Amino acid sequence: MNKPILVRDVMWTEVDIIDSKNTVQQALDNMQHKKTKLLIVDKTHEYDEYGMVLIADIASKVIAKGRSLDRINAYEIMSKPIISVHPDMETRYCARLLTRLGLSRCPVLENGKIIGVVSLTNIVLNGQHIV
């Protein structure tokens, strides 16, 4: 039996976490600087949940509605709570979960902390060469 490919084997670990009070303009500047389509919105307290802002959220909830990037905060357009996976999940199950939920990516949580992000692209392109 081959060793299973785990989420931790294919996830990216450079995760961008922003404050929920950041403006959408600040979030967009962060995305452009780091060339990412996803930002994690940090918890505001110990019992809170993480949120997520995608480039699609900015397009559909701000730009398409003619709203000002400087007057909207990340918490107003984020998705929360977010679906996450464990780093020791097999990528085949992660791919099934993401496709079943219509998601292309999700954060990876370990001990309540975000340690990475996994995407279908990571699973398909990076998971094939690991043996």
Distance CA 116, CA 126 (A): 15
SS3 121: helix
pLDDT at 128: 62
Residue spans of the domains in the chain: they are 7-126
- Low-confidence winner among 2-6, 19-23, 57-61, 72-76 (lowest mean pLDDT): 2-6
Q: How many Cα atoms sit within 13 Å of 95 on the Cβ side?
A: 14
Pairing of strands 38-41, 17-18: parallel
Q: How confident is the model at residue 2 (pLDDT cuts 50, 70, 90)?
A: confident
7-126, CATH topology level: CBS-domain (3.10.580)
**Per residue in 25-74, pLDDT tens?**
999 998 887 778 899 999 999 999 999 999 999 999 999 999 999 999 99
Q: Across the chain, what does the average pLDDT equal?
A: 92
DSSP 49: -
Task: Examine the pLDDT at 131 and tell me if it is beyond 50.
Answer: no
- Rounded to two decimals, the pTM is 0.85
Task: Examine the pLDDT at 95 and tell me if it is beyond 80.
Answer: yes
Distance CA 56, CA 54 (A): 5
Task: Examine the pLDDT at 22 and tell me if it is beyond 50.
Answer: yes
Dihedral sign (CA 63, 66, 70, 73): negative
The tokens 């961008």 sit on which residue? 16
